[in-house]
Amino acid sequence: MGMINIEGRIIWEGEAKPLADQFSQKKGIPNDVFNQILGAIFTNCLPTAVILARDLQLPPPIPPPPQMQQQGAKSPPAHGSKDKHRSMEVA
């Protein structure tokens, strides 16, 4: 098993002082700012993590859809095996 850890920085273009003050007092930031930051992280890091996981043969960093978890769906075929209903060609 392994772990993919991606680190970086986000530069916020806006009024940082009020955000820093709110974070210091309430240990949180407004939801609209949080959603923008989280969106930037997912947009930039998640595709890289998915490709790394595939190349290193690790589980993808994305949880299966809830209906698959509830139904106890079959696990995907082993790496390298072909299943015409689940296979995906990647160029």
Mean pLDDT of 45-73: 81
The answer, yes or no, to whether residue 27 has pLDDT greater than 80, is yes
More confident residue, 5 or 65: 5
What's the number of domains the chain is made of?
1
pLDDT confidence band for 28 (50 / 70 / 90): confident
Indicate whether 47 belongs to any domain: yes
Chain center to CA of 37: 13
What confidence tier does 79 reach under pLDDT thresholds 50, 70, 90? low
Residue 74 located in a structural domain: no
- The reply to whether 22 falls in a domain is yes
pTM above 0.85, yes or no: no
